[in-house]
Amino acid sequence: MSNRGAERMDSLTALGRLDDADIDLAECALLLAGLDRPEGDLSPFRDHLAELVRDVKADLPSEVARDVSRQARALADTVSGKYNYQGDTLTYDDPQNANLIRVIERRKGLPVTLAILYIHVARAQGWSATGINFPGHFLIRLESNGGRVILDPFNGGVQRDVADLRGLLKQMTGIESELEPGHYAPIGNRQTLIRLLNNIKLRAIAAKEGDRVAEILDRMLMVAPDDLSLLREAGQCHAEIGNMRRAIEALEA
């Protein structure tokens, strides 16, 4: 492993030990993506994130910055409008869509990857932004002054009302499904990253790439080192590919 790769592993391990609220979502996603490009420089991508932050700030006068609807429009106008970030509807299952570096380069990705961009830019303005526990399609929630909006980064940052969410839920989970309070519940930084990595893991499982599955599980454990279900899954996966030392470590833990 290169020096850069080792440094990123160390940084991710340190981030995984932080309290959930202290995890820098976009930085962690960049480091995870950088593990697949160990010789690459992350500075241009950090610079791009800073550029998004500056442009949203310039787009929204300070006197209306506490209006949650204006916040939502400023995010959508900049991220999806000016910079043309969109959901990848044509090659949705392409693993590149869950890699933040490739998403920045290609300007398209999965709902959760695009949401990480939106959340990062919003929080950098001092706004309250979080993912929500909506099944099958990652959405984000903005809150300010008692107001709340739900945004869909995959579809250009469009604001979703209750009727939209009900229709989306039925599309994702079946016609009998109904909205519940839990569907609006916030999801933490750590679980957002796990959801991101799970997309890569599931595609590796479908391709029967056992070594890649084990690699992604180990990355999940850097982010969530105390997750018992992940430790068990990693132990079983490493055993299946013959890496008994790592299997024993995970299962003992």
For residue 82, is pLDDT > 90? yes
For residue 47, is pLDDT > 80? yes
- Range with the poorest average pLDDT among 39-53, 105-119, 157-171: 157-171
**Read out DSSP for 186-205?**
EE-HHHHHHHHHHHHHHHHH
Higher pLDDT, 153 or 184: 153
| pLDDT per position as a tens digit, 18-35 | 999 999 999 999 999 999
Percentage of residues in the chain with pLDDT exceeding 70? 99
Q: Which of 36, 31, 39 is nearest to 10 (CA)?
A: 31
CA-CA distances (angstroms) from residue 106 to 12, 30, 101, 109? Answer: 24, 15, 9, 8
Q: Which of 141, 99, 103 is nearest to 122 (CA)?
A: 141
Give 248's contacts (C-beta < 8 A, 6+ positions apart). 235
For residue 1, is pLDDT > 80? no
Q: What is the DSSP letter of 108?
A: E
Q: pLDDT grade, residue 60 (50/70/90)?
A: confident
Higher pLDDT, 168 or 56: 56
Region 87-109: mean pLDDT is 96
Give 150's contacts (C-beta < 8 A, 6+ positions apart). 132, 139, 140, 141, 159, 160, 161, 165, 184
User: For the chain, what is the total number of helices (H) and then of strands (E)?
Assistant: 11, 7
- Half-sphere CA count of 153, side-chain side, radius 13 A: 31
For the record, the structure tokens of 145 come out as: 């002054």
The one-letter amino acid at 85? Y
- Three-class DSSP category at 88: coil
- Range with the poorest average pLDDT among 161-165, 173-177, 221-225, 234-238: 173-177
Q: pLDDT grade, residue 163 (50/70/90)?
A: confident
Q: pLDDT grade, residue 88 (50/70/90)?
A: very high
Region 176-181: mean pLDDT is 80
Q: Which of 60, 94, 116 is nearest to 199 (CA)?
A: 94
Question: Given this model, what pLDDT does residue 162 score?
Answer: 85
Whether pTM > 0.75 for this model: the answer is yes
For residue 69, is pLDDT > 70? yes
